[in-house]
Structures are given as structure tokens and as C-alpha cells.
């Protein structure tokens, strides 16, 4: 394993875990809304219930996992601690969770009051998060490729949130005169290709070689890819905003370059996994494979829509692309990552606890495979994949009943993830108690 990590700087386990454990609950709620509205969800991408489902996934599941992962990884990668990480982490968590709930109910009930509340809570939560993390990064002289990508992802998050809040403002005050179509396009691009993808790429540079025992990513990729992608998004945005020349062609060309970058990342990740020396097929690896294949499918869908006559109906395209990119790529990577990061952190904190109690390494701490058995994760992976493929089919045949089995499978899959997580947390608490008891028994016999 990579030895450049300052594991001693890791924040208390409750800081990332509160984010990780709440995330799948939003996935469950998104699936329930899918079941409640059925095929109506595909009538228009601007349906308020469709926007609710989208944000339950992008903010509720993905946003919480990513914020938890950054709060955990930043000190470990850079050796810098986030000041008052426990209260600050809890405050950010409360603001984001309540903000996501307000936003989703605000969409579903078309309630300006709740949308307004969501602006305050999400603006506050993300605002504090971005300031705290960027300040910690600025204090740090050291930089790694993962940290640089994280910095660019945070700036992308800032753009996404500002654009999202402006769009929400236009729902509350319809008299505001903004170019809704353009701002939405920018919001989606910065959210998915900036915030989500840059962070996942940066984290992959660290965790794929470490947890999946692969070779390192090629140097040209770790050094240049995140900045080229970020630069591409900036140029694309400027062209879109300024309307220079024939902006559609120039913007599409820049986007094509960016998408080629994401495709090269997916292909290299698959190649690294394929050529690793120890060919153990664990579930995280399979989640990542499915995610990378989804990223390639999303790129093919984009090319089909933008560069060719287009096989898929333009009305259906945004739904299919959204499902493949958000659920197929992003949710899968994060789901797979949770199955490595959570057992690793539990194992690490128990070891640390044992040493700090003066027990040496006397007590047998469960290993990562015992904390979340691979078999349990594997059943969830199968449901996740079949659920997403069924949802893709449901988007291609929008009036069909397929959305119902897809909703049931995804709801069960998120529930299984939640069950596996809670079981691991219970095991952590049990062992912590046992270590405490062992320490007290030792001090009495002394
Ligand atoms: C403070 C946070 C956010 C707010 C207030 C917000 C708000 C909004 C609003 C109001 C729309 C509808 C735009 C329209 O009807 O023209 C929208 C669309 C969208 N947002 Fe966000 N958003 C936020 C964060 C994010 C993030 C972080 C992501 C992605 C990672 C994201 C992804 C999307 C997508 C994909 C759509 C299009 C949905 C569709 O086509 O059905 N949003 N957002």
C-alpha cells in the first residue's frame, strides 16, 4: 500500500461516516419517487419530480459521499488537519441533509418557501465546505496530483452551486430575466464533468493502485488530464457565454476534446485493472469496471447525439444519458469505493484504538473482508447493475412498465448498501467496546 499517507492525521471516524451512512437513504427515496410517478417521470426532463430524483442522486447520494470522502482524504493526503473538523463536519452535514430534503420536497410540492429554504441551507452548507477545504489546501505547501484534481473539482462545485442557486431563484421569482437553457447547460456540465468527474479521476489516481493493486496511472495522465479537462470546460463556457463565430461548432469541438480525455481515463483504468498482477476479483473492482463501461457508453451516446444523425430520439436522449452517466458511472464508482474505504477506516481506527489503549497488537481485529463480506457486496452489485440496465431500457421505452421493476431493484440495492454499512458500523462499535473492556481487565490484573 502507498506509504505516502499521513494516516495519523485522519479525522475521527464519525466525520466521514455520517456522510457515507446517510447517502444511500437518499438513493432509497429517489427510487420510491420513481415508483410513485412511474412512466410519468419520463414525460419531460423539466418535470419537478424528475428534478427531485436527479438531485436526490446528485446531491443526496453523490454529493454526500464526495464531501465525506474529501473531509477524510484531505488530511490523510496532505498531512493538514481541517480546523475543528468534528463540529464543522457535523454542521456541514446537517445543512446539506436538510437542504437536500428542502430542495426535493420544494420541487415535488412546487413550493417557493421550501425552495428558498433550500437556497439558504445548501448555499450555507456548500459555502462552508468549500471555504474550509480551500483554506486548508492553501495552507499546505505540498501538492499531489490527487490534491490538484480535488482543488479543480471544488472550484467546479462552486460554479455548479452558484448556477444551481440562480436557476432555483428563477423558479421562485419567474420575472428574473435569465437565459434558462444556457445556464442549465452550464450547470449540468460543471456539475457532472467538473465537480463529479474531476474528483473521481483525482481520487482514482490514489485509490485504484492502492486498493486494486494495479500499476500507477501513466505520468502524463496524472500530471495533465485534470488541468486539461478543467481548462477545456473554462474555454467551452466562455465560448457558450460569448457566442463567438459559430459557437455551436467551436463549443462542440472543445467538448469533443474533453470527452476524449474522459474516455482515455476510462480505457486506462480498465487496462490497469486488466493487467494487474494479483488477479483477485473483488466486488469494488467489478463496480469500477461497470462504471468505466458506463462512462464509455455515455461518451458514445453523446457522440451519437452531437456528431451523427442520431439513433436515439432527441427527446429521450437526455434521460438515457443522465441515467448512464449519473447512475451508471458516478453512483457505481462511489458505491464500489464505499466498500473499500469504510472497511479500511474501521480496520485502521480499531488498530489505532488498540495501540492507544496500550494493548499492543494482542487483540485480533477483523480484517477488511470480515467487516463487509464480499458476498454481501456482490449481491448488491448484481441488483445495482440489473436495476440500472432496466432503467436505461425504461428510458428508451418511456411509456412502458419497465420503470417499476427498475425502481424496485434500485430501492433494494440502495437498502442493501445501507444494511451492509450499518452492519459494519455495529461491528466497529462492538469491537471498540471489547477493546475498552480488555484494556480495563489488563489494568486491573496489573
Ligand atoms: C445548490 C445545489 C444545486 C441547486 C440549487 C440546483 C438546482 C437546479 C435547478 C433549479 C435545475 C433545473 C434547471 C431548469 O429547469 O432549467 C437543475 C438541473 C439540474 N441539475 Fe442541479 N442544482 C444543484 C446542484 C447540482 C449538482 C451538484 C449537480 C450534479 C452533480 C446537479 C445536476 C443537475 C442536472 C443533471 C440537472 C438537469 C436535470 C434534468 O435534465 O432533468 N445539480 N439544478
Percent of the chain with pLDDT over 70: 96
Cell of 336: 464500489
Nearest atom (ligand 1) to Cα of 318: 40
Weakest mean pLDDT among 43-57, 70-84, 424-438: 70-84
164 lines ligand 1 (CB under 6 A): yes
Average pLDDT over residues 237-261: 84
pLDDT for 306 equals 86
Mutate to test the pocket of ligand 1, among 92, 154, 191, 324 (most ligand atoms within 8 A of CB): 191
Distance separating alpha carbons of residues 202 and 337, to the nearest angstrom? 13
Q: Which of 184, 190, 326 for a ligand 1 pocket mutation test, highest count of atoms within 8 Å of Cβ?
A: 184
Average pLDDT over residues 232-239: 95
C-alpha to C-alpha distance for 192 and 184, rounded to whole angstroms: 12
CA-proximal residue: ligand 1, atom 15 (nearest)? 46
H helices within 139-282, ranges in order? 145-172, 180-188, 197-212, 219-242, 247-274
Atom of ligand 1 nearest to the CA of 181: 16
pLDDT > 90 in the chain, percent:
73
Helix (H) or strand (E) holding 352: helix 332-356
User: pTM for the whole thing?
Assistant: 0.94
* Confidence (pLDDT) at 176: 83
Q: Which of 159, 210, 199 is nearest to 74 (CA)?
A: 199
pLDDT of 3 over the 70 cut: no
What is the predicted pLDDT for the residue at 278? Answer: 74
Instruction: Say yes or no to pLDDT of 2 above 70.
Output: no
C-beta of 345 in contact with ligand 1 (< 6 A): no
Residue 164 Cα to ligand 1 midpoint, Å, equals: 5
Q: What integer best gives the mean pLDDT of the chain?
A: 92
Amino acid at each position: 500500500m502507498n506509504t505516502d499517507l499521513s494516516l495519523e492525521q485522519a479525522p475521527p471516524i464519525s466525520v466521514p461516516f455520517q456522510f457515507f451512512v446517510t447517502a444511500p437513504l437518499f438513493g432509497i427515496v429517489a427510487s420510491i419517487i420513481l415508483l410513485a410517478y412511474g412512466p410519468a417521470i419520463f414525460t419531460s426532463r423539466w418535470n419537478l419530480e424528475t428534478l427531485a430524483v436527479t438531485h436526490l442522486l446528485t446531491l443526496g447520494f453523490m454529493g454526500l459521499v464526495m464531501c465525506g470522502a474529501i473531509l477524510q482524504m484531505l488530511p490523510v493526503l496532505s498531512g493538514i488537519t481541517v480546523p475543528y473538523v468534528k463540529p464543522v463536519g457535523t454542521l456541514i452535514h446537517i445543512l446539506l441533509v436538510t437542504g437536500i430534503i428542502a430542495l426535493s420536497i420544494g420541487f415535488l410540492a412546487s413550493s417557493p418557501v421550501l425552495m428558498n429554504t433550500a437556497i439558504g441551507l445548501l448555499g450555507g452548507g456548500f459555502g462552508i465546505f468549500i471555504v474550509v477545504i480551500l483554506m486548508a489546501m492553501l495552507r499546505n505547501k505540498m501538492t499531489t496530483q490527487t490534491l490538484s484534481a480535488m482543488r479543480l473539482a471544488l472550484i467546479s462545485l462552486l460554479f455548479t452551486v452558484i448556477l444551481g442557486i440562480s436557476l432555483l431563484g428563477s423558479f421562485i421569482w419567474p420575472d428574473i430575466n435569465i437565459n434558462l437553457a444556457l445556464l442549465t447547460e452550464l450547470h449540468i456540465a460543471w456539475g457532472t464533468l467538473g465537480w463529479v468527474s474531476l474528483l473521481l479521476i483525482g481520487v482514482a489516481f490514489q485509490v485504484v493502485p492502492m486498493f486494486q493493486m494495479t500499476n500507477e496511472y501513466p505520468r502524463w495522465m496524472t500530471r495533465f488530464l485534470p488541468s486539461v479537462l478543467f481548462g477545456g470546460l473554462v474555454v467551452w463556457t466562455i465560448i457558450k457565454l460569448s457566442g463567438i463565430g459559430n459557437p455551436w461548432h467551436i463549443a462542440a469541438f472543445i467538448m469533443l476534446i474533453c470527452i476524449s480525455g474522459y474516455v482515455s481515463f476510462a480505457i486506462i483504468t480498465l487496462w490497469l485493472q486488466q493487467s494487474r498482477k494479483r488477479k483477485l476479483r473483488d466486488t469494488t473492482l467489478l463496480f469500477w469496471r461497470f462504471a468505466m463501461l458506463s462512462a464509455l457508453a455515455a461518451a458514445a451516446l453523446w457522440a451519437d447525439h452531437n456528431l451523427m444523425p442520431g439513433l436515439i430520439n432527441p427527446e429521450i436522449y437526455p434521460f438515457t444519458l443522465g441515467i448512464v452517466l449519473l447512475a451508471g458511472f458516478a453512483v457505481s464508482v462511489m458505491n464500489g469505493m464505499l466498500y473499500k474505504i469504510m472497511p479500511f477506516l474501521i480496520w485502521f481506527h480499531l488498530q489505532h484504538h488498540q495501540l492507544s489503549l496500550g494493548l499492543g497488537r494482542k487483540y485480533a481485529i477483523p480484517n477488511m473482508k470480515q467487516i463487509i463480506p464480499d458476498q454481501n457486496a456482490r449481491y448488491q452489485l448484481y441488483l445495482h447493475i440489473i436495476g440500472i440496465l432496466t432503467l436505461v431500457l425504461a428510458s428508451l421505452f418511456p411509456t412502458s412498465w419497465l420503470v417499476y421493476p427498475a425502481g424496485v431493484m434500485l430501492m433494494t440495492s440502495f437498502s442493501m448498501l445501507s444494511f451492509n454499512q450499518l452492519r459494519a458500523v455495529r461491528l466497529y462499535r462492538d469491537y471498540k467496546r471489547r477493546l475498552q473492556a480488555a484494556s480495563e481487565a489488563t489494568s486491573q490484573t496489573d
